[in-house]
Amino acid sequence: MCHFNVYKTFSTPHGCSGPGCGALSVRDKLAKFLSVPTVEFADGRYYLNYDRTDTSSKVGGFFGVAPVIVKSYSWIMMLGADGLKEVAEISVLNNNYLQKKVEANV
């Protein structure tokens, strides 16, 4: 299972009066536990599958908060591959710095 939490990854605001937003992927053996609709891929295209019979639940607000996705996508495109790599490296550096500060004061 892999959950891509847009709120934590891109520091987008919570409390936008809507459901959370982010992708969830699982291996085939866990697929029956996913709510419908699921995103499927066939014949070279993606589509929403509402017809799954092996699930017991349905998502009420499937698309989440759309502006959160637009903001995150815009930021990624603005940075480009090199900028995104730099941001990730700085993030790790900041995290390690904070960890050492906390360890020193605990």
- State the Cα angle at 55 between 52 and 60, rounded to 5°: 90
The SS3 of residue 17 is coil
* Structural domain span for residue 91: 2-104
Determine the pLDDT at residue 20: 64
The pLDDT assigned to 46 comes to: 95
pLDDT score, position 67: 79
Domain count, the chain: 1
pLDDT tens, residue by residue, 2-56 = 777 777 777 776 665 556 677 788 888 888 888 888 888 999 999 999 888 887 7
What pLDDT digit, counting tens, does each position of 54-104 carry?
Answer: 877 777 665 667 778 888 889 999 999 999 999 999 999 999 999 999 999
- In 15-63 the beta strands, taken as DSSP E runs, fall at 22-25, 38-42, 45-49
What is the CATH number for 10? 3.40.640.10
